Amino acid sequence: MQVLLIEDDVSLAQGLQTSLKREGFSVNHLREGKSALSSVATSEPDIVILDLGLPDMDGNEVLRQIRKNHSELPVLILTARNTIEDKVTGLDNGADDYLAKPFEIDELLARLRVLERRLSSLKHADLTVGDVSIDTRAQQVRVAGIDVDFSRREYMLLKMLLENVGRVQTRDSLESKLYSWGEEIASNAIEVHIHHLRKKLPEQFIKTVRGVGYTIKPQ
């Protein structure tokens, strides 16, 4: 389990590194937000521990940047800012947990273990119906045991249908989840994606519910 520790207090960081390593985490420590952001992109940590008061940018901005590309990366904020407003802001920006300094190392370790457990259940979050399965962690679709490439929107669409097996998804609801507000959408966009999806899936896997939308039947 690779932890990225973003903390400008060097002596605190050193103590944390020692404790985390003793617990079996591998730790990469950086003192600044910008270098941490590039490290998130290149070294793909499993968990981030994020201080808010950083020398070059605010930790909340670091968090917002992380969330743009890494929606599922667990982030624990570890900070001296301890008001309710601070906590709400951090959590609303996408933190998974928030621990105020001063803190007990045992509590931090326990919280990291919670994030670790959540991560490993996510890693095994496979959705399977009949011959079709998706690995939601790797965002990989497999049909009859063979990896098949899907565009991002095709993948999202298939995932939404698989998560709602047996329920009809209306075109409007699929559209609203697939596209951002204000994005230009062709009136037949969903039909076109479904058409492409069907070419890659077993016959009759996605059923059309005339005038309403689409569904995948349990198998």
Which chain residues interact with Ca ion by CB under 5 A? 8, 51, 53
Helix (H, G, I), strand (E, B) or coil at 195: helix
**Beta strand 146-148 with 47-50: parallel, antiparallel or unpaired?**
unpaired
* Residue closer to Ca ion, measured from CB, 8 or 131: 8
The single residue listed with the structure tokens 């940018």 is 57
* Residue closer to Ca ion, measured from CB, 36 or 158: 36
* Residue closer to Ca ion, measured from CB, 6 or 201: 6
Closest approach, Cβ 11 to Ca ion, in A, equals: 12
CA dihedral of residues 168, 136, 74, 169 (deg, nearest 10): -10
* Residue closer to Ca ion, measured from CB, 53 or 202: 53
Q: Which of 33, 30, 75 is nearest to 53 (CA)?
A: 33
Closest approach, Cβ 51 to Ca ion, in A, equals: 4
* Residue closer to Ca ion, measured from CB, 98 or 214: 98
Closest approach, Cβ 173 to Ca ion, in A, equals: 43
Helices (H), 141-188: 152-163, 171-178
Closest approach, Cβ 73 to Ca ion, in A, equals: 21
Closest approach, Cβ 13 to Ca ion, in A, equals: 10
* Residue closer to Ca ion, measured from CB, 51 or 97: 51
**Whose CB is nearest to Ca ion?**
53
CA of 88: how far to CAs of 93, 100, 217, in Å? 8, 13, 41
Query: Per the structure block, which two tokens stand in for 136?
Result: 């939601």
Closest approach, Cβ 8 to Ca ion, in A, equals: 5
Q: Which of 24, 11, 14 is nearest to 3 (CA)?
A: 24
Q: Which of 216, 79, 98 is nearest to 159 (CA)?
A: 216
**Beta strand 169-170 with 26-30: parallel, antiparallel or unpaired?**
unpaired
